[in-house]
Amino acid sequence: MMSEFSKKDTIRILIASDNHVGYLERDSVRGNDSFRSFEEIMQLAKDKDVDMVLLGGDLFHDNKPSRKSLFEAMKSLRLNCLGPKPCELQMLSDMSNDSYDPSFAHLNYEDLDINVAIPVFSIHGNHDDPAGEGRLCALDILQAAGLINYFGRVPENDNITVRPVLLQKGRTKLALYGLGNVRDERLYRTFREGNVRYMRPLEDQDNWFNICVVHQNHASHTDTGYLPESFLQDFMDIILWGHEHECLIDPRQNDQRGFYVIQPGSSVATSLCMGESIKKHEYNMLLQPADCRHVGILSVRGKERGFEKIPLRTVRPFAMREIVLAEYNEIPATGKNMRQVREFLERQVEGMIKEAITDWRKMIEDYDDPSSTEVSNQPPLPLIRLRVEYTGVYEVENPQRFSHRFIGRVANSNDIIQYHRKKATTRKSKNVLGFPEFDELVEHVTLSKLRVETLVREFLDAQTLVVLAENGLGDAVSQFVEKDDKNAVNDFVKDSVKHQISSLLKSGIEDDDLEEALEKQKAAMKEKIEKKAGKHTNIGNRDSWDDFEMGGIHSNRLDSDDDEPELSHPAKSTRRSAAKKGSVPKKAPAKRLPAKKPTSRRGRRTTPSPAESNIPEEEDVEIIEDTPPPPRRTNRPTSPTSVTSNKTFGRKATLDFAQPPKQPSFLNDSDEDDFVDVEPSAKKRSARS
C-alpha cells in the first residue's frame, strides 16, 4: 500500500490494453462491443480525473481500420480527452525519435492549437503495427489529429534503442519506456545478442519512476516465441504487458528482477478460448464473468505507487466448458443416440447461460460508483462456448443447427458448440500433394486460434517450389492476409520474375543447366531474405519489394526470425527463360522437353536454408551518434543514459546490469539532450557466479 499522496505530486495513470476497436463490427449482435468498451475506458479516465492514459497496443483490431472504427475511436478520444482543464505534466525529453514527421515532435498537450485535458500514450501492437508504403499505421493518423501520443517505434528490429518519454509533475519524475511489437523470435534473438539498449536519465537516476510498455507473448509457446521477463531491465518499476488477453490486472512481482508486472488483458473477447476465461467452477467449467475484465489506475508519487482496479461493465460475460461424452453414463453408447446427445448438450448450455447472467447481476449490485454513468439493468447476451469430444459411437447434430436453437439468448448463436475427436495414433492415408492433414494443424490449437498463415506455412513447408522462395512467398501471403495489402503477392511475383529474367540473361546459362541455375538462384534468394530481414528504415517509400515490410508467416517457426525479406535475383519460370533465347532453333524445344517434364523429381528436391547460428554476432556499440532533431517546443530535458542488454547470457538467463556507468560517453541527440551507453559489467557477473 502507498502512503497518502499530495495531489500536486501524484501522477494518476489509467492503464488498459488490447482494445481491438472494430472487432466484429459487422456482426448484428456484437458489432458495437469494442466501441462500447473503449468508450467506457475513456469515460472512466474523465470521471476519475486521471493525469494520463497509457495503452499497451492493439488499439485497433485491423491493420487498416474501417471508417467506422476510426470514427468511433476518434469520437471517444475527443469527447473525453479534450477539454479546458490544463494538463499538469511537464515534458522533459525529446519526441523526435518517436515521431514520423518533425511537425509532431512534441506531445499533443503542448500544442497551442489543441486543448488536451488527458493525454493518451500508446505503443503499437501486432494488429495495428506500421506496414506498407511509408511504414505508417493507424496510430499515426490519431497522432496527426492531435488525439494520442504514439511512442515506442522500432526503426530496426535487430538494433533497438529504447528512449524514454520523461515527464514530471511536482516532485514526481516519470520515465516512460515503450517497445512496440516485434516478432517474438526476432526480438528474442536481438535481446540474446545484446542489441537492445535502454537510455536512462543522467541526473537523479534513483529518483525516477520507470514504466516499460511491451506488446509480446508472455507465455513460452515455443523456445524463442516469447519475451522472457528476465530479459527486461531490473531498474524498471512497472512492466505494462500487452498482447495477452487474459486479465491479470493485479501487480505481480518478479522475484529475480524486482519489478512488478501488470497485464490488463483485452477489453473485448476476440477468441473464445481458455485464455479469455478464468477458472471459476469445477467440472472443466471456465467462466469469465463481466467483472473479470478490468482496467487499473496507477498512482505514482516519487518512488511510491498505488493501484486501483476497476471492472468494465460493458464486457459480455463469457462461459466456456469442455466435456467428454464418454464420461457420462446417461448417454447410451449406441449408433442411434442423436436425440439423447442433443438434449444433454442443451442442458449444459442452459446451465452455462444461467451462470453467466447470475454472475453479471451480482457484479452490477456490488459495483456502486456514483461518478460513473448508469448501466442498464438488462444483462447483455452472454458468450457461450461448449467444446465436446465425441470419440466413440455418438451421433451429433450439425453445430450451426444446434447453435441456432439459442438465437436471441446468446451473442454467438452461430458457433456455440465445437465438436472434436481424439486424434488417432496411426494414419493410413497419405496426402498426394504433401499438404499436412487438417487434424495435425489443429492438434494443439482451437479453430478460433487457427490462422490463415499457419495453413499456408504448413503447405509451403510440405512443398518444394521450383522458382519462388517459399519464405518470401509465405511472407507475401501473410502481408496480404494480416495487413490487407492487396498488392503484396502481385508485387513479390512481379519483382521475382523481373530479377530472375535479368539474372539468367546476364549469366548466359545454357538450356541444359537451367534447372541447376534456378535452384541456385532460389537458394540465394532464400538466404538473402533470411539474413536481411528486419533491417528497414522507419520512414520511406517502397521502391521495390526489397523495402516492403512483411507481416511474417514464418514467425512461428523455430528456425526463422525474419521480418522483412530483401530479395536478390528473384526467380522466373524455366519455360519463359528458354523462350527468350533467339538463337535456339525452332525444333530444339521439342528435344529438351523430355528433360524438363519430370516435375515430380523437382518436387523432391530441397534446398537447405542457412542456419541461424551462421549469422555472425555484432560487437557491442559503445557510442551512438544521432543527427540533431528539429527545434523543440518543450522545456529543458533531463539527460538520460543508456543501459545495454547483455550479450553473453544464454536463453532464459537472468540479467544483471550495472546501473552507474564508469566512464559515460554521450549520445548527441541535441544540444540539450545527452545520452550515454552503459555496458553491463560482465566481469562482476562472472565473479559473482
- Asked if residue 120 lies in contact with residue 52, where contact means CB atoms within 8 angstroms, the answer is yes
**Residue whose grid cell is 534456378:** 518
Q: Does the predicted TM-score (pTM) go above 0.75?
A: no
Higher pLDDT, 624 or 428: 428
pLDDT in tens, 44-64: 999 999 999 999 999 999 999
Angle among Cα 424, 428, 434 to the nearest 5 degrees reads 100
Average pLDDT of the residues in 440-462: 59
Cell numbers that stand for 9 in this block: 505530486
Question: CB of 264 within 8 A of CB of 16?
Answer: yes
Under the banding of pLDDT at 50, 70 and 90, the label for residue 335 is confident
Indicate if the pLDDT at residue 75 is higher than 80.
Answer: yes
Question: Of residues 211 and 570, which shows the higher confidence score?
Answer: 211
Write out 260-292 in H/E/C secondary structure.
EEEECCCCCCCCCCHHHCCECCCCCEEEECHHH
**Whole-angstrom Cα distance, residue 17 to residue 128?**
13
What's the rounded Cα separation, in Å, for the pair 60 and 79? 18
Say how many Å lie between the first and final Cα of the chain, rounded: 35
Q: Which pLDDT does position 432 carry in this prediction? A: 45
CA angle 520, 494, 537 (to 5 degrees): 85
Tell me how far apart the alpha carbons of residues 382 and 385 are, in angstroms, rounded to a whole number: 10
Q: Considering only CA atoms, which of 256, 262, 229 is closest in space to residue 244?
A: 262
Q: Which helix (H) or strand (E) holds 215?
A: strand 208-215
Considering only CA atoms, which of 297, 8, 13, 309 is closest in space to residue 176? 13
Q: Which residues contact 444 (CB under 8 A, 6 or more apart)?
A: none
**In which band, very low, low, confident or very high, does the pLDDT at 499 lie, cut at 50, 70 and 90?**
confident
Summarised one tens digit per residue, pLDDT across range 403-422 is: 999 999 999 999 999 999 98
532: which 3 cell numbers? 536481411
Per-residue pLDDT tens digits for 575-589: 444 444 444 444 444
Residue 489 near residue 477, CB atoms below 8 Å: yes
| 505 vs 663 pLDDT, higher one | 505
Crossing angle for the helix pair 33-47 and 67-81, to the nearest 10 degrees: 10
Read off the pLDDT of residues 651-678 as tens digits, 9 standing for 90 and up.
Answer: 333 334 444 443 333 333 443 444 545 4
Lowest mean pLDDT among 78-87, 279-288, 342-351: 279-288
The catalytically annotated residue of 20, 124, 127, 499 is 127
Q: Which three cell numbers stand for residue 108?
A: 499533443
Q: How confident is the model at residue 10 (pLDDT cuts 50, 70, 90)?
A: very high
Please tell me the distance from the alpha carbon of residue 172 to that of residue 156, in angstroms, as a whole number.
32
Domains of the chain and CATH, by start: 7-315+620-684 (3.60.21.10), 318-422 (3.30.110.110), 452-606 (no CATH)
| 602 neighbors 74 (Cβ within 8 angstroms) | no
Active site residue 127: yes
pLDDT classification of 441: cutoffs 50, 70, 90? very low
Give me the chain's average pLDDT, please: 76
pLDDT in tens, 458-490: 777 666 677 787 878 888 887 777 777 777 888
